[in-house]
Structure 1
Amino acid sequence: MAFTARSDRPGSLSGVSEIQDLTTPTTTSRRGFLAAGAGLATAATVGPMLWVPPASAGVRPQGVHVTYGADARRRMAVSWSTPASVKKPVLELGLGRDFGTRIAADSRSSKDVGTVYHHVDLTRLRPDTTYRYRLSHAGATAYEGSFRTAPSEPKAFRFAAFGDMGVNEAAAAHVALIAQQKPAFAFVVGDLCYADSSGGTGLGSADTQDFQVWDQWLQQIQPSAAKVPWMTTVGNHEMEAGNGELGYAGYLDRFSLPTNGVKDAPVTYSFVHGNVGFIALDGNDASTEINRNNGYVGATLDAWLVGRLTEMRERSDIDFIVAGFHNCMYCTNLVHGSDGGTRSRWEPIFDQFEVDLVVNGHNHCYERTHIMRGGVAVQEAPDGAVVDSSTGTTYLTAGGAGQAAYPTGGLPLSYVTVEGGLRIPEATTWSAVTYEDHSIAFLDVTPRDKQGIATMKLTARSTDGTVIDTVTMKRQRRSA
């Protein structure tokens, strides 16, 4: 099926000089400009953990972060901010010590604070290649960093998965843990910084907003995100009052993400890394617990999801499929419980296409289910288990990345919130492992071995790196 990209933003190349493999761009991307080249980069120079308002626009680029494009092998976006408008914000792309390409940034002022956000979208990059970049503007000291594109052939890799981070000591410790674990990228399932504390509830008394928290959070994650793509989704706390009809304007100002999602849901997208397909959904569209944005795209999003899953399952090089969104499909935590809206809309689709892993946040804890199919556990998966993920889906709540932890408390009975906000009690025999404190999940993926078996091992770690849970998902190569 055809997929509709989001509208592009105008732009042009500025001061381009030739480097190896440089090609002339013929189209413009949504948030920046096309460039090419290959090179070996050095480690990123990182800034302070927390953002401090600068005295002038001559400050170095702040809140630097990179994200994959729709083709993670050949596209990457580099984003950063300045406290006010600056002259000639540019990115230079280099080979080794040389920066042979100079690219003007697409800059936009945020609607909520005076900060200006700059984006450069790079295309025609070499797969599995480390690039070095330099960011600067008139009167500023340059920031230098690096990133690596995804491989063109399946190879072993690691990714991190988590949500509900905020700006706090635990979150900063997790940024350090992520850097220590060296994932290829992070899959972040919403509730990023909590600049709007109301969480889309519409309760004015709770709607205390401080949008400078966005800049604090981006600076907090920079030691990782300036080098490793952070692929984010929206949570209920990204539905910010005053930031557009859906509340997503602040989020979209700050990120340059793949443009292959639903036209009217620009926070949705997909990408492939190695032998794994990733799909980012908007759980707010399906949620029956917090229904501010419920159904704003509805069936259109579901049709896109079916189309994208069909494409992924037809590809011979994709073994595993991972879907990510904020609202929990299965969680015993009594603060938010499980969301019946996401279950009723997407569980049948996940079953049909044998989605291997669904990553959620929302509840500030860690929880993993047994292997699920048709709403019931079909294969037990205790800590340390090895399972056949073609038989069902693992549902993971990974909402312990920094915000105050919630007690689980929902065993053996919890609840699911259905249409109208009604909480229905339910038995939770599907729950395999729970952990009530902060944590980050890491997943190690290996390509098929000689027997045609690929693996994806989940390892959950507490803030100090202690392993709290593991499970290994296996998949046999499909018959032609």
Structure 2
Amino acid sequence: MAPNPSRRTVIRSTAVAGSLAALPASTLLWSQPAVADAPGPEQVHLSYGNEPAREMTVSWATAGTVRRPRLRLGTAQEGFGRVVSAETRTYVDGLNKVETYTHRVRLHGLRPDTAYVYEVSHDGATPKRGTFRTAPERGRVPFRFTSFGDLGTGSAAFSKSSIHGAAAVRHVEQFNPLFHLLNGDLAYANNNTSRQPQAWDAFMNNMSVSAANRPWMPAPGNHEVEAGGGELGYASYHTRFDLPDNHTRDYCGNWYSFQVGSVLFLSIDGNDLAVEDDASIDPATGQSIYISGYSEGAQLRWLERTLARARAGREVDWIVASMHQFAMSSSAASHGGDLGIREQLLPVFDRYQVDLVLCGHDHDYERTYAVRGTDPGSLLRPAVASDELRDIDTSQGTVHLILGGGGTASHDDTFLSDPAGGVPDAFVRTQRLTFKADPDAKEKATWSAVRDPDTAFPYGVAVFDVDPGHLSGGRTTITVSYYHTPAATPAVPVPTPVLFDRFTLHRLRRDGHPSHHGDLVTTNV
């Protein structure tokens, strides 16, 4: 799924993935490879394939070239039963000329809702073991997922990172979700230009504490656009993550979708849609790397097709979008509600009744009311469809969350206010400005429902519990719980999460009478 090599990067791939060697279970269970001085596997992480109930991709890295990278797969009850050879993919960082070696196995034909054990290894190294559970079969089933963005490496040795990034990964494990959505700004490697590969290595090893046991499904943020990383700056991101296929020739991995139960998840590349210039400076030219509009509408055409298909059927009740940039924020340090997002994305969300949009970018927590359409005479300000705070009907409007408190060193938690104590102000970015310039406009944040201004609790994770309900055409819910935490310290490396905000989203299931489906507008695409 890697892009074609470019002038800034070299990506190489050798594929023997999918070739299965069936060996006796007893041999696989008790035979141990010879252990020499070869460096072992690291940075182990999981991602879903195209069908989460039956496909899982296991990826890892090694410090150099290795012989016969492979995976052993089994279950706790049956033992290890097959060996799969890995595909190896490498890239050379264009700034530092450091080569990174990654390996992956795409597993197919798995059983739905089943726990598996696995080991990744290569000749002469000690295997590294992990576990995972496949998603349940498509249908109406309960499950839990978690989300935040803006994580960092988990080490203060790297710019834009703090030790709370390590705590955040462990918080995900405490909540035991089926999978985690990571809403962009992963390693902040582009803020560490002399050590871009090392920052990615530290990030991946930190993430592996959780991601070796459950899929972490990312969306690219502005900090994934790296100098020396190919034409779009995504060489490291593409080499390290193997993601569901979006069936494009040139942009696989940039955006994608997957379905778990009756929930369709969308990962969207906001760098293609936002007007903000906030990625990286190319040292060869001294100019910013600005990739807005790079897909020439391909992403939006894919999105329209995907949503139209989902809402035309009866399998999908909920639609959840994960992305980095946002349409609304009232943070005092905000990047600004992006007019590119408002112009291009929000009308599509409205047409297909997208229920929930999860973002990062600003390093705080904010929740909107359910919004649909725009207020007349405004900068396409999303219009409030309902001011209900606790039990929200998302067939009437979309709820947006900013979840930017994953663990980056630069947390915010300060918000603009109204001097009279009424509706707060918010920044809006209406056009491309100079690199990292402040937003150029303001509006009243009539859409802002809940904000977390407590600077003593600057980080947090959102937990989502899907309840499919019991009756065809009846009520289904997602309960959202946002937990904030104080910053981690050496004395308290994993502080206890504290519940800050809880609310319930509801709508009617789409497996009932067509009249229950709401007033959907669809187009032929």
Correspondent of 2:478 among 453, 456, 461: 456
Q: CA deviation at 1:108?
A: 1.9
Q: CA deviation at 1:6?
A: 8.2
Matched, 1:250 2:236: yes
Aligned 8 A contact 1:262 1:301 in 2: no
Identity of aligned residues (%): 38
Residue in 2 that maps onto 1:379: 386
Q: CA deviation at 1:260?
A: 2.3
Matched, 1:402 2:407: yes
Q: CA deviation at 1:409?
A: 2.1
Query: Which residue identity is paired with 1:155?
Result: V
Q: What value does the CA root-mean-square deviation take over the aligned residues?
A: 2.2
C-alpha distance in 2, partners of 1:279/1:341? 18
Q: CA deviation at 1:103?
A: 1.1
Correspondent of 1:108 among 77, 89, 97: 89
Q: CA deviation at 1:334?
A: 3.1
Matched, 1:303 2:290: no
After TM superposition, list the pairs within 5 Å mapping 1:322-361 onto structure 2: 322-335=320-333, 336-361=335-360
Query: Which residue identity is paired with 2:332?
Result: L
Q: CA deviation at 1:133?
A: 0.7
- Report the TM-score when normalising by structure 2: 0.79
Query: Measured at CA, do residues 453 and 135 of structure 1 come closer, stay the same or move farther in structure 2, by a change above 3 Å?
Result: same
C-alpha distance in 2, partners of 1:9/1:184? 31
Query: Measured at CA, do residues 9 and 297 of structure 1 come closer, stay the same or move farther in structure 2, by a change above 3 Å?
Result: farther
Deviations 1:207-247 (A, max 9, x none): 55532111111111212100110000100000000000000
SS in 1 for 2:189: coil
After TM superposition, list the pairs within 5 Å mapping 1:68-467 onto structure 2: 68-96=48-76, 98-112=79-93, 113-152=98-137, 153-167=139-153, 168-197=162-191, 209-266=195-252, 267-290=254-277, 292-335=290-333, 336-374=335-373, 375-382=382-389, 385-403=390-408, 404-411=410-417, 412-421=424-433, 423-436=440-453, 437-450=458-471, 452-463=474-485, 464-467=496-499
Query: Measured at CA, do residues 233 and 214 of structure 1 come closer, stay the same or move farther in structure 2, by a change above 3 Å?
Result: same
Matched, 1:475 2:475: no
Q: CA deviation at 1:114?
A: 3.3
Q: CA deviation at 1:448?
A: 2.4
Residue in 1 that maps onto 2:376: none
Query: Which residue identity is paired with 2:169?
Result: V
Query: Which residue identity is paired with 1:311?
Result: R
C-alpha distance in 1, partners of 2:175/2:239? 29
Aligned 8 A contact 2:3 2:238 in 1: no
Aligned 8 A contact 2:63 2:100 in 1: yes
Aligned length: 433
- Report the TM-score when normalising by structure 1: 0.86
Aligned 8 A contact 2:272 2:295 in 1: yes
SS in 1 for 2:466: strand
Aligned 8 A contact 2:2 2:239 in 1: no
Query: Measured at CA, do residues 305 and 5 of structure 1 come closer, stay the same or move farther in structure 2, by a change above 3 Å?
Result: farther
C-alpha distance in 2, partners of 1:126/1:270? 20
Aligned 8 A contact 1:63 1:219 in 2: yes
Aligned 8 A contact 2:331 2:362 in 1: yes
Aligned 8 A contact 1:135 1:144 in 2: yes
Deviations 1:389-431 (A, max 9, x none): 1000001100110012113322311211012336221100111
Correspondent of 2:42 among 62, 81, 94: 62
C-alpha distance in 1, partners of 2:2/2:235? 17
Deviations 1:147-168 (A, max 9, x none): 1111113211110111000023
Aligned 8 A contact 1:367 1:398 in 2: yes
Aligned 8 A contact 1:196 1:211 in 2: no
Aligned 8 A contact 1:68 1:77 in 2: yes
SS in 1 for 2:206: helix
Aligned 8 A contact 2:14 2:89 in 1: no
Q: Which segment drifts farther, 77-86 or 7-16?
A: 7-16
Query: Which residue identity is paired with 1:95?
Result: T
Aligned 8 A contact 1:83 1:114 in 2: no
Deviations 1:419-450 (A, max 9, x none): 23362211001111112421111111011233
Query: Which residue identity is paired with 1:387?
Result: I
Aligned 8 A contact 2:15 2:86 in 1: no
C-alpha distance in 1, partners of 2:353/2:105? 36
Deviations 1:148-191 (A, max 9, x none): 11111321111011100002321111111110100000011110
C-alpha distance in 1, partners of 2:223/2:431? 21
Deviations 1:259-318 (A, max 9, x none): 125433221110001111001111000111127110001322111101000111123121
Query: Which residue identity is paired with 2:414?
Result: T
Q: CA deviation at 1:339?
A: 1.1
C-alpha distance in 2, partners of 1:16/1:418? 56
SS in 1 for 2:21: coil
Q: Highest Rg: 1 or 2? A: 2
Q: CA deviation at 1:340?
A: 1.2
Query: Which residue identity is paired with 1:269?
Result: Y
Query: Measured at CA, do residues 19 and 334 of structure 1 come closer, stay the same or move farther in structure 2, by a change above 3 Å?
Result: farther
C-alpha distance in 2, partners of 1:235/1:59? 31
SS in 2 for 1:183: coil
C-alpha distance in 1, partners of 2:66/2:23? 26
Runs of 4+ with >4 A deviation: 4-9, 12-15
Query: Which residue identity is paired with 1:271?
Result: F
Q: Which segment drifts farther, 368-377 or 5-14?
A: 5-14
Query: Which residue identity is paired with 2:416?
Result: G
Query: Measured at CA, do residues 62 and 318 of structure 1 come closer, stay the same or move farther in structure 2, by a change above 3 Å?
Result: same
Residue in 2 that maps onto 1:31: none
Gaps of 5+ in 1: 21-40, 42-55, 199-206
C-alpha distance in 1, partners of 2:323/2:133? 25
